[in-house]
Amino acid sequence: MRRSSPFLYLALLALLFVAGDRLGALALGHVVDASEFRFSRLHRGGLDNDILVVGNSRAVHSVFAPQLSRMLDCRVFNAAYNGMSGEVVEAIVKDYLEHNKPPKIVLIEVSDAVDSPVLVNELRLFARDAGPVHDLVRRFDPWNDVWATISHLYEFNNEMTLRALYQLHRSDQDWIMYDRPMTPEVLAHIPLNEFKNYHSRPESVAALRRLVSELNARGIKPVLYIAPFHPYFRKLVPRYTEWESALQHDLGADEPIFDMSQMFCANENFTDLLHVNIHGSRLVTAAMAERLRPIMAKIVANTASAAALSVPSHADTADLH
């Protein structure tokens, strides 16, 4: 360190850092891309699902994809993730449509109330290629490109990398809250001002509206819903009714929101004030299946008639010959 030229040593150190950083990132990139984690699969492409579920953690835990799939006899893919705001939902659905076959229905949980699109930090893992996710990360985290230029390993510094490693060989579509139910003891200790600022950001709502319009334009049916809240939550949120009415007004104009927020109130169905557990999820998924069954039937019927119209009849083909 001291005998050779210090400049040479510093240059060598920098070179070794960059080489190790790039090699490490390359190896991690291959592992993440090959994972069975939901966003790895979505980004890798080739999915063919009838129903796509998006939204924040309330969507992750409220719609149990395997159960819904069984009940409706169709393919369901849950692409929801903790802290997913409207802007992220929009980017993820667009990313899905770019890489995969379009679904028939996109199920969107709309009660997002995060102060900023926090998930953007996580999504840089899938922002390595150009596309909707890359644009979103660039918009909300303009420094990301700078950091990612200095260190490629930085792109893997998030929970999604850990999840991708954990889900390397098994699907995460059964991700659900198995936790014990809510207890009066826990309820008693929740601070009264815990949700005093609960609100939906206008930017997030606007992104959802844009998405709904785009889906309608593409012939994909958007279904909006609000997952159940624990009854105590509704007491803690000031002007809860106004918040819900505003959501209905802003989003429900084109697509009425399926409101399940007061579907049940027993502690045993919740793991906390915002999330249902496995018992609550079963009830929500069953109700959702009932809601979607006629919609699916209608879509299938329309698709069949459209196919019948577009396929030339025997007589027509005979004429052609």
Partner 1 sequence: MVFTSLTFLVFAALFFPAFFLTRGRLQSLITLVASYVFYGWWDWRFMALLAVSTVGDYTIGRLLARTEATGTRRLMLTLSIAANLSYLGFFKHFNFFASSMAALLHGIGLEADWATLHIVLPVGISFYTFQSMSYTIDVYYRRLAPERDFLVFATFIALFPQLVAGPIVRARWLLPQLHRTRRFRWTNLFVGLEMIITGFFLKLVVADNISPFVTLNFQLPEAYNSLSLLLAVILFAFQIYGDFAGYSLIAIGLARIMGYKFPANFRRPYFSRSFSEFWTRWHISLSSWLRDYLYIPLGGNRHGKARTHRNLLTTMLLGGLWHGANWTFIGWGALHGCYLVGQRLLSDSARRAPMRLPVPRAAAYLLQVLAVFTLVSVAWVFFRASSFSEAMIVLRRILLLDDWHTSDLPLKFHLVKALALVMLLVAIEVGAECSTIRNIYFRSRAARTGGMLALLWLIPLAGSFAGAQFIYFQF
- Quick one: 178 or 313, whose CB is closer to partner 1? 178
DSSP string, 171-221: --TT----PPPP-HHHHHTS-TTTTTT----HHHHHHHHHHHHHHHHHT-E
- Least distance (Å) from partner 1 to the CB of residue 162? 5
Q: Judge contact between 67 and 282, C-beta under 8 A.
A: yes
Give the nearer residue to partner 1 in terms of CB position, either 23 or 301. 23
Nearer to partner 1, 167 or 200 (CB): 167
Rank residues 183 and 213 by Cβ distance to partner 1 and give the closer one.
Answer: 183
Nearest-approach distance from CB 179 to partner 1, in angstroms: 6
Structure tokens at 190: 């929740």
Look at the alpha carbons of 83, 86, 88, 94 in this order and tell me if their dihedral is positive or negative.
positive
- Closest approach, Cβ 155 to partner 1, in A, equals 9
Give alpha helix (H) positions in 252-313.
278-310
Write out the DSSP string of 2-43.
-SS-HHHHHHHHHHHHHHHHHHHHHHHHHHHHTS-SHHHHHH
- The CB-of-153 to partner 1 minimum distance in angstroms stands at 4
Q: How far is the CB of 164 from partner 1 (least distance, A)?
A: 11
User: 253: exposed, middle or buried (C-beta count within 10 Å: 0-12, 13-18, 19+)?
Assistant: exposed
Nearer to partner 1, 162 or 297 (CB): 162
Q: Cβ of residue 175: shortest distance to partner 1, in angstroms?
A: 11
- Which residues would be at the binding site for partner 1 (CB under 8 A)? 1-2, 6, 13, 16-17, 20-21, 24, 147, 150-151, 153-154, 156-157, 159, 162-163, 166, 178-180, 185-186, 188-190
**Complex with partner 1: residue 155 or 244, whichever CB lies closer:** 155
Distance between CA atoms of 34 and 29, rounded to whole angstroms? 9
Q: Number of helices (H) and strands (E), helices first, in the chain?
A: 15, 5
Q: List the structure tokens of 230.
A: 């624990």
